[in-house]
């Protein structure tokens, strides 16, 4: 998580600050790469609480995007 946070910080400072669309794409792709498999596996294994928490975090990230 720390590594992902550093990557998001650098994307924000270096790409989004310059108006680059690549920064948005990188953030969206990384969110989807986490959300889809993690939520799918959580639901398939019966751990709906993690899936619900994933949705909360997805909204927290998606609102600023």
pTM for the model: 0.79
The domain tally of the chain equals: 1
- Phi, psi (5° rounding) for residue 20? -75, 130
pLDDT on residue 29: 93
For residue 57, the enclosing domain spans 2-62
pLDDT on residue 63: 84
Q: How far apart are CA 43 and CA 65, in angstroms?
A: 26
pLDDT tens digits in sequence order for the chain, 65 residues long? 789 889 989 999 999 999 999 999 999 999 999 999 999 999 999 999 999 999 999 999 888 77
């Amino acid at each position: 998580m720390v590594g992902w946070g550093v990557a998001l910080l650098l994307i924000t400072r270096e790409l989004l600050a310059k108006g680059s669309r690549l920064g948005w794409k990188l953030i969206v792709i990384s969110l989807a790469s986490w959300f889809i498999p993690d939520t799918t596996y959580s639901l398939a294994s019966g751990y709906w609480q993690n899936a619900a928490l994933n949705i909360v975090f997805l909204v927290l990230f998606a609102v600023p995007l």
